[in-house]
Amino acid sequence: MSKSVAIIGKGPSVKHSTKELIDSFDDVAICNFPPMEKYQHLISNRAKYHFLNAGNPFPYNRDFLNSLGLTHVFNIAHEEVAPDRLFLPDHEVYYFSDYGVHVKKEYENKHGFWPSCGVQAFDYFLKNEEYDTICLVGFDFVQPGLPVYYFPKEEVKPELHYLWDNSHYTTAGLVLERSYNSHGGDKQKQFVIDTINASEKQIILYRSEAFDGCTIEKK
């Protein structure tokens, strides 16, 4: 039986989502560490798949991870990270310690960019024959002048403050041009558009302003 999955990114268009929308899909994947406790009305409170940079500060505790129902965890960093670096749930999960190493090499060679965490999650479900419907939520590709996240700095745990402590965003969390360029925004956006148009799977791009004015032929 074919299944559906919602992949939740961290872009501002998450604000258009609802718990009812997310719960309408069979499974849920989260990218890195989206704040969830205050936003369950937008992104629900479950996740089967977790794609994360295992080398970054870790804001989730074990109790919270146990509550999500995770069964698959993917390290998307460019180097392998041992599982003892992570707080994995108490129940058995499949941990892919070097997933990002292989995907990033593939995309750099084939597409000319290093894929974001969200694109790596998208890649996994494109190749996974168990799923025929993929919904992308919060895929905004750091658009210049727009908020980078659906949440403000003051509402997240200190472990996530590093996201703002760089030269890519303003203090208000708006994206600067150099951040968009360094993340390969144009190439990643075009990859998503081309994939939607070519894929035999149903791909839903949920209310992302990043794609306003783009030609997406397949509905």
pLDDT tens digits, one per residue of 32-45: 888 888 899 999 99
Q: How far apart are CA 123 and CA 39, in angstroms?
A: 26
Residue 152 structural domain: 3-211
Classify residue 158: in a domain, yes or no.
yes
Whether 131 is covered by a domain: the verdict is: yes
What pLDDT is recorded for position 209?
62
Instruction: State the pLDDT confidence band at 219, using cuts at 50, 70 and 90.
Output: very low
- Could you tell me if residue 217 is inside a domain? no
| CATH at 109 | 3.90.1480.20
pLDDT reported for residue 180 = 52
Q: Can you say whether residue 142 is alpha, beta or left, with left for phi > 0 and alpha for psi between -120 and 50 degrees?
A: left
Please check whether residue 26 lies inside any domain of the structure.
yes
Q: Is the pLDDT of residue 158 over 80?
A: yes
The secondary structure of residue 174, as a DSSP letter, is B
Domain count of the chain? Answer: 1
pLDDT over threshold 50, residue 189: yes
Q: Percentage of the chain with pLDDT > 70? A: 82
Look at residue 202 and tell me if it is in a domain.
Answer: yes
pLDDT per residue as tens digits for the range 113-131 = 888 899 999 999 999 999 9
Residue identified by tokens 């090499």 is 105
219 located within any domain = no
Choose among 124, 130, 108, 122: nearest CA to 204.
Answer: 122
CA gap 129, 148 in Å, rounded:
32
pLDDT at 168 over 70: no
Q: Is residue 216 in a domain?
A: no
In a domain, 218, yes or no: no
In the prediction, which pLDDT does 1 show?
60
Average per-residue pLDDT for the chain: 83
Which residue in 50, 35, 20 sits closest to 159, CA to CA? 35
